[in-house]
Amino acid sequence: MRKHMTSMEPARDLFDTTPQLPEIFARWFAGRGWQPRAHQLELLAKANAGRSALLIAPTGGGKTLAGFLPTLVELSERGIRPRNLKSTGRALMRSQGLHTLYISPLKALAVDIARNLEIPVHEMGLPVRIETRTGDTPASKRQRQRRDPPDILLTTPEQLALLLASADAPYMFGTLKRVILDELHSLITSKRGDLLSLGLARLFVLAPRLATIGLSATVAEPEELCRFLVPQPPRGEAHADLVTAQAGAQPIVTMLDTEEHLPWAGHSARHALGEIYAHIKTHKTTLVFVNTRSQAEFLFQELWRANDDNLAIALHHGSLDVAQRRRVEDAMANGKLRAVVCTSSLDLGVDWGDVDLVINVGAPKGCSRLLQRIGRSNHRLDEPSEAVLVPANRFEVLECRAAIDAVAENAQDTPPLRTGALDVLAQHILGRACGEPFIADELYAEICSAAPYATLTRADFDATVDFVATGGYALKAYERFAKIRLGKDGRWRITHPRVAQRYRMNVGTIVEADMIKVRLVRSRRSGAVVPRGGRLLGEVEEYFIETLRVGDTFVFAGEILKYEALVEDEVYVSRSDATDPKVPAYEGGKFPLSTYLAARVRALLAKPDAWRALPDQVREWLEIQQWRSMLPKAGDLLVETFPRAAKYYLVCYPFEGRLAHQTLGMLLTRRLERARLRPLGFVANEYALAVWGLGDVALRIARGDLSLAQLFDEDMLGDDLEEWLAESALMKRTFRSCAIIAGLIEKRFPGEEKSRRQLTISTDLVYDVLRKHQPDHILLRAARADAATGLLDIKRLGEMLSRIRGRIVHKALDHVSPLSVPVLLEIGRETVYGEASDMLLAEAADELIKEAMR
Amino acid sequence: MSQAARNLAESEGNLIVLAGVPLLADPRGGLYWHEHGLLAVADLHLEKGSSFAARGQLLPPYDTASTLARLSHLIADYRPRCVVALGDSFHDGGGPARLGDDDREGLRSMQRGREWIWLTGNHDPEPADGIGGTFTDSLTLGPLTFRHLPSDTPGEVSGHLHPVARISHRGRAVSRRCFAADKTRMVMPAFGAFTGGLNVRDAAFADLFGTLAFTAHLLGDGRLYSFAAKRCLPD
């Protein structure tokens, strides 16, 4: 059974029913042989007192039942009173209006919870109607839900936005008493959390007696989540109450002590395959977590190659077809699988009681993240969960070691609460106008009561309203095409019902890369037409397919496939017997190393005493590094320079994650170019950055006409950054998603889905033009805010540059240092140099010339 | 001709010989015929932003200004006696009427002292008021014919298709607007700020050139990059 509704503790004393729990509930608990947990009763008491509360509990702590208990108790008491009868025109219907709204990040989770909630309701005979509302709910049922809402409605943030964007929202939500927000720790880290916070602010206005319950895994700053749950006053802060459940047994986390040679670089963990397989064999059910979809594909392939015992091993990641994923989840729930290789697609939600081992392959990236993954195993609180970390290379050994130490201390490194994004705000404002006409002053006050938007200035709010109305352009050209307009009554309303229709088709904050369906067909004989209509395997990013040529092979959905053809919006593939496929480079969960864990890794490197806890191979590696070069003190940045094969290398070790390093690489190469050091390329990994070129950096430093302090000065985040942003493909991708969320570019049109390609315009072109003519436009500001923490990770780079000021240690070497080997091995695999593609074209053209002259 | 234009003219890579006529293909997307002092640009799609805005997508209204500014740089560099716009100069029939005052004045000043020919396109089949110039369906000059829609006339310079080529190198793909040409015909890149493109590997190009035996001249920073169509990637 999934997502257990109940506590699993046996009742120690059947007659010890607490006075707080109504008799019918006490009997039900006792009948199941259970006893209410302290946190369940505490939460009930808070709710009875009309307080909003955040419950922090480990997985398996009866969290969901705790969240619903207050509602079930209230509804059971209400059931005794005479029903409110209401005419629908044809018949009388009972309704006391919507009582509780439950919001989950996953559609599947909402459906599961509803199913499981029916059990206690049915067994106690409670007069409670429970319904779900997701994208799959039929239109007739949705309409009925508006007219005659259930007592408890389970849904997602997007559906809440849609419900609020209709004229009958005040009717539907006027009776609402409680909102339960599940997996809050995960919801609040994204723009979905921003959207949810705005919806919640609206609900507090529509339903003045509303209280909230947040359910969350352990986080670093629970007080911030407590702010999210209640309306923020104009001055100061308001917090929900905090209820913390007793922690489960301390998990047993170990690092795989491999007998094999530990790779210098790479993420495949191929060396540990036999050992991973042996673990699967000796456990009942194992979850094997990896960090990217391509790693999942690779590991799954390799495990099956080694699978002499024919163990039932399955694959689960976000690109696979939904039906395929459900089959795996069901097989898992029914205990039919021995192992599932999965990505963060299983970080959340669906729980399986029988998992007795979690294996994390590759870097853990963050300790909260690791703890949540470990929490996926063994839901009996009194027994410890068991997890094995499998580092794929030497640096990852350091990271695993740091993570194990952090877990032992119960340290948390969840990210801080976001500042609400302006593109999401724009979407919400349009949605508000689609519901009831709004007064700007009132809406501004309402929005500022949402914790992520508490610091929104009136100027930014007004600019966003202006954007929604006419695009927010300094050149006022679109007054007559306005989407919303200020009426004489002082209210903003939509100018045409079509605006609302289009809003509804484009609601949401999840902007995926353009995806292409992958369909399996039979291999084409020469000249034969590719047959249509094979099995759907899933979806891959369009830009990945763009890099393939017909005949290329890649691994997807656990098979080696050959690219046959692109037909409309589907890519046709056939099974291939190739043994060396081109593995997909498509992303999917490339989380950067957390700042906290990075600091621990630096501390570990700086403390030779602590190396005893490391495998021999790694310790020797560090000792040789110490002898040949050095290891920096925890707060220092080590920069090594050395010549190699007629080129000069500069390698630094900031440990700030690949994204921040890539940005640093882009900016450093610009500076080196200006210093006439003729940089040729760079490569970044999670830990280090290597730049190489034709100029001798060490010589220039020795001569005193180049200083590393200047090279790494924070002012690179000024003009250099601006220049690069003008052409950066990553920045354009960031802008695209803002433009779509804010409604500038619509992905879907009523009745016109097919001709999407003709109707949309490349956001890259819009970016170029807007950047030139109105650089302070609100969407560019939104994109810059995203770039600070997203694909460019500029904020983290800025913090790093300020941290290392005056603390750069230069080591001029004669040859490659041991520490630099891992990052140098990535050359060729990961090279990114400049995004101005002209150089690439020039190279391609030159190559042709060379070929022609041969 | 300005120094910048002279530099471009001296670089052989930017010369395309069509029906025996040497033409200077400017990497900014214009085509200059020195003998006649003629500058051609294709598919300006002016007022495309406002056209979308009228249909509910409030794209920035700066595309016209941006396109005209780039055109004015070309004109300043070549000082042509005649400018030919190869059709689809406006995104829709209402475009000329929506033209903002500044943009209209900018256009007028570019037209001053030179001949200006608007060839009709499928987006703008009718002559329009208030934008100066003369209107015609096609223009034949010596061995060359300029028109919007490609046909099978030898020596033809056309637009309409918005050719774009994609090159992959070291695992990365680059996509650029391009001139698509063989020895007898040429399709010019779209010049408008908001104009997308059609991959030269699309069937439309093979139909036009008969085979894949044509060259894509990709617009680069200050120079063209030329690749055989066969070397270019399909979408």
The length of chain B in residues reads 235
CB A747 within 8 A of CB A763: no
pLDDT at position A532 is 58
What is the rounded CA–CA span in Å between residue A821 and residue A810? 18
Q: Are the Cβ atoms of B50 and A477 closer than 8 angstroms?
A: yes
Q: What's the pLDDT at A550?
A: 72
Chain B CB within 8 Å of residue A771 CB: no
Assess whether pLDDT exceeds 80 at residue B13. Answer: no
* Domain end (from A185, A210, A244): A244
Residues of A in contact with B234 (CB under 8 A): 566
Q: Worst-scoring range by mean pLDDT, A58-62, A443-447, A558-562?
A: A58-62
Distance CA A696, CA A694 (A): 7
Best of B62, B162, B202 to disrupt the A interface (most A CBs within 10 Å) is B62
Q: Do B172 and A840 touch (CB under 8 A)?
A: yes
Structure tokens given for A828: 């060729």
| Nearest-angstrom CA–CA distance, A849 and A832 | 24
Kindly report, residue by residue over A606-638, the tens digit of the pLDDT: 999 999 999 999 999 999 999 999 999 988 999
Q: Does A72 touch chain B (CB under 8 A)?
A: no
A852 vs A403, which has greater pLDDT? A403
Q: Do A473 and B61 touch (CB under 8 A)?
A: yes
| Same domain flag for A374 and A433 | no
Over 50: is that where the pLDDT of A328 sits? Answer: yes
Is A450 within the bounds of a domain?
yes
Q: Kindly state whether residues A237 and A256 are assigned to the same domain.
A: no
Other beta carbons less than 10 A from residue B235's beta carbon:
13
Q: How many CA atoms lie within 13 A of A607 on its CB side?
A: 15
A178 and A279 share one domain: no
Q: Is residue A304 part of a domain?
A: yes
* For residue A756, pLDDT beyond 70: no
User: Which has the higher per-residue pLDDT, A164 or A82?
Assistant: A164
Which residue matches tokens 């049922």? A141
Task: Give the lowest-confidence range in A73-87, A356-370, B63-77, B84-98.
Answer: A73-87
Residues A95-101 have a mean pLDDT of: 87
Q: How many domains does chain A have?
A: 5
Q: Contacts of residue A768 in chain B, CB cutoff 8 Å?
A: 193
- Residue A840's pLDDT is 66
Tokens of A683: 């490569």
| Cα–Cα distance, A365 to A379 (Å, whole number) | 24
Does A363 share its domain with A445?
Answer: no
Residue A774 at interface with chain B, using a CB cutoff of 8 Å: yes
Contacts of B176 in chain A (CB under 8 A): 837, 841
Q: Is residue A109 part of a domain?
A: yes
Q: If residue A280 lies in a helix (H) or strand (E), which one and from where to where?
A: helix A273-281
| Tokens 């409604």 found at | A743
The minimum CA-CA distance between A393 and chain B, rounded to whole Å, is 24
Q: How confident is the model at residue A72 (pLDDT cuts 50, 70, 90)?
A: very high
Cβ-Cβ contacts under 8 Å between A and B: the total is 115
Helix (H, G, I), strand (E, B) or coil at A380: coil
Q: What is the pLDDT of residue A94?
A: 45
Smallest Cα distance from B171 to chain A, Å? 7
b/e B182-219 (16+ beta carbons within 10 angstroms → b): bebbbbbbbbbbbbbbbbbbeebbeebbeeeebbbbbb
Same domain, A691 and A816: yes
Q: Which residue has the higher pLDDT, A568 or A736?
A: A736
Global pTM value: 0.86
Q: Which amino acid is at B227?
A: F
Q: Do A546 and B171 touch (CB under 8 A)?
A: no
Q: What is the C-alpha to C-alpha distance for residues A501 and A691, in angstroms, rounded to an integer?
A: 51
Same domain, A676 and A709: yes
Helix (H) or strand (E) holding A294: helix A293-305
Do residue A382 and residue A491 come from a single domain?
no
**What's phi and psi for B43, nearest 5 deg?**
50, 65
Give the residue on B whose Cα is nearest the Cα of A743: B57
User: Are residues A777 and B60, on separate chains, in Cβ contact within 8 Å?
Assistant: yes
The CATH number of whichever domain residue A59 belongs to comes to 3.40.50.300
For chain B, list residues whose CB is within 8 angstroms of any CB belonging to chain A. 48, 50, 52-54, 56-63, 65-66, 100, 166-174, 176, 193-196, 218, 220-221, 225-227, 231, 233-235
CA distance B190 to B163: 7
Chain B CB within 8 Å of residue A168 CB: no
Q: CB burial class (10 A; 0-12, 13-18, 19+) of residue A214?
A: buried
| Confidence at A81, pLDDT banded by 50, 70, 90 | very low
Are B138 and B202 within 8 A, CB to CB?
Answer: no
CA A680-A684-A686 angle, 5° bins: 170
Let me know whether A722 and A812 are in one domain: yes
Each residue of B132-190: pLDDT tens digit?
A: 999 999 999 999 999 999 998 899 999 999 999 988 776 567 889 999 999 999 999 99
CA distance A548 to chain B (A): 9
Cα separation, A626 vs A640, whole angstroms: 13
Q: Among A295, A297, A305, which residue's Cα sits nearest to residue A392?
A: A295
Question: In whole angstroms, how far apart are CA A315 and each of A342, A521, B234?
Answer: 6, 21, 32
More confident residue, A567 or B215: B215
Structure confidence at residue B106 as a pLDDT band (50, 70, 90): very high
List the structure tokens of A572: 């046709």
* Closest CB from A765, A777, A840 relative to B193: A765
Provide CB contacts within 8 A for B19, sequence distance 6+. B143, B144, B154, B155, B183, B184
* Domain of A538, in residue numbers: 515-575
Residue recorded with tokens 């003369």: B134
Is residue A849 assigned to a domain?
no
Same domain, A759 and A836: no
Closest partner residue to A549 (CB to CB) among B58, B172, B233 is: B233
Q: Confidence band (pLDDT; 50, 70, 90) for A586? A: very low
In a domain, A752, yes or no: yes
- Does A660 map to a domain? yes
pLDDT, residue A606, reads: 93
* pLDDT at res. A588: 39
Nearest to B218 by CA among B178, B174, B172: B178
Amino acid found at A418: R
A695, A672 Cβ separation under 8 angstroms: yes
A477 to B226: CB separation less than 8 angstroms, yes or no: no
* Partner-chain residue, chosen from B58, B173, B176, that has the shortest CB–CB distance to A547: B173
Amino acid (1-letter code) at residue A556: F
Query: Nearest Cβ partner of A765 from B53, B194, B231?
Result: B194
Domain boundary among A244, A260, A275: A244
Q: Which of A219, A244, A269 is the last residue of a domain?
A: A244
Q: Worst-scoring range by mean pLDDT, A322-336, A688-702, B63-77?
A: A322-336
* Structural domains of chain B sorted by starting position, each given as residue range(s) with its CATH number in brackets: 3-231 (3.60.21)
Residue A797 sits in the same domain as residue A774: no
**A625 within a domain of the structure (yes/no):** no
pLDDT at A839: 65
d(CA B14, CA B226): 9
pLDDT of A80 higher than 70: no
Q: Which residues 459-518 of A are in CB contact (within 8 Å) with B?
A: 470-471, 473, 475, 477-478, 481, 483, 498-499, 502
In a domain, A16, yes or no: no
Which residues have CB under 8 Å from A829's CB, separation 6+? none
Helices (H), A452-588: 458-470, 497-505, 542-546
Q: Are residues B60 and A770, on separate chains, in Cβ contact within 8 Å?
A: yes
Percent of chain A with pLDDT over 90: 51
Chain B interface includes A719 (CB < 8 A)? no
A343 and A298 in one domain?
yes
Indicate if A685 and A765 belong to the same structural domain: no
| 8 Å CB contact between B106 and B65 | yes
Per-residue confidence (pLDDT) for residue A351, from 0 to 100: 59
Beta-carbon contacts of residue B64 (< 8 Å; ≥ 6 apart): B46, B47, B49, B50, B99, B100, B103, B193
pLDDT at A714 exceeding the cut of 90: yes
pLDDT tens per residue across span A423-478: 999 999 999 999 999 999 999 999 999 999 999 999 999 999 999 999 999 998 99
Identify the CA nearest to B116 among candidates B106, B125, B107, B124: B107
ipTM: 0.91
How far apart CA B90 and CA B84 sit, in angstroms, is 14
**pLDDT (0 to 100) of residue A438:** 97
| Cα(A89)–Cα(A385) distance, integer angstroms | 57
Q: Kindly state the tokens that stand for B108.
A: 């007028």
Contact B59 A470 (CB under 8 A): no
